[in-house]
Amino acid sequence: IDLAVQEDDLFRRNRRLILFDMDSTLIQCEVIDELAKCAGVGEQVAEITEAAMRGELNFKESFHARIALLKGMPETVLQGIADTLPITEGAPRLISNLKRLGYKVGILSGGFTYFAERLQKELGIDYVFANELDFVDGKLTGKVKGEIVDGERKAMLLQQIATENGLSLKQVIAVGDGANDIPMLKLAGLGVAFHAKPKVKQQAKVAVSTLGLDGILYLLGIRDSEAMTQGNTTLPETPVPGFTASKL
């Protein structure tokens, strides 16, 4: 069972911006691990990913190490993964209902724009900030373009988007599962550790560990009878490990 205690003030009922991590939050996979499997370096990359998510490795250093192992991969492989991204169960329902209520929705990801932009089109997401992969002649170079989106940059972008929309930080929801999500979870008015690592749960304001993403509607005081839309997606909705259906 999930138990969340919140201050019952005006802001609890007046959030207006929700920002998601992507990998293992908005989708049920770590894209870089899927790419690594296709490149034959799956075990190497998975070990680095897990250590980074637990906060045992510097994110930027681990990121560069993993990307370098993908050098030479053709874009067709990425396209195949993008077309079958396993969207977290409840994500379309959550996002469609929040959009109906006037929310802005964004992705702040240490993953890749190539896949985040696919989700943007699929789910009607307003903002995408992630890492841009570098291609030459249709193949990965093993590098990325521009500044890496790490934990500190996620927090900075959250502040930037809130300011652009004239919102207080108390009106912002941040949702994530890994160590590099902690800065934005702590900054947001409502930081949700979603099926997260223990270190993340300890520092987030609330945790959702037994429901799908639409369980966040309950944190906002929205009952199933008030959540009018189910949302649509052509991508497969995938249950979260430990997911149990619940109705209020």
What are the pLDDT digits (tens) for 136-162?
A: 999 999 999 999 999 999 999 999 999
pLDDT at res. 247: 43
Contact (CB, 8 A) for 229 and 97 = yes
Q: How confident is the model at residue 58 (pLDDT cuts 50, 70, 90)?
A: confident
Supply 170's token pair: 């108390």
* Residue pair 70/36 in contact by the 8 Å Cβ criterion: yes
Tokens 């199933």 belong to residue: 224
Q: What is the mean pLDDT of residues 15-20?
A: 97
Q: Is 21 marked active-site?
A: yes
Average pLDDT, the chain: 91
Say if residue 5's pLDDT is above 90.
no
Of 193, 204, 244, 235, nearest in space to 24 by CA: 193
CA dihedral 55, 56, 59, 65 (to 10 degrees): -150
Q: 87 to each of 52, 73, 120, 239, how far by Cα in Å?
A: 23, 24, 12, 9
Q: Above 60 in pLDDT, residue 246?
A: no
Residue 44: pLDDT over 80: yes
pTM of the model: 0.91
Which candidate in 2, 9, 21, 83 is catalytic?
Answer: 21
In angstroms, rounded to a whole number, what is the distance separating the alpha carbons of residues 63 and 69? 10
The closest alpha carbon to 107, from 183, 19, 36, 230, belongs to: 19
The larger pLDDT score, comparing residue 117 to residue 52, is at 117
Instruction: Please say if the pLDDT value at position 178 is more than 70.
Output: yes
Which one of 23, 33, 181, 214 is the catalytic residue? Answer: 23
Tell me, yes or no, if 2 is annotated catalytic: no
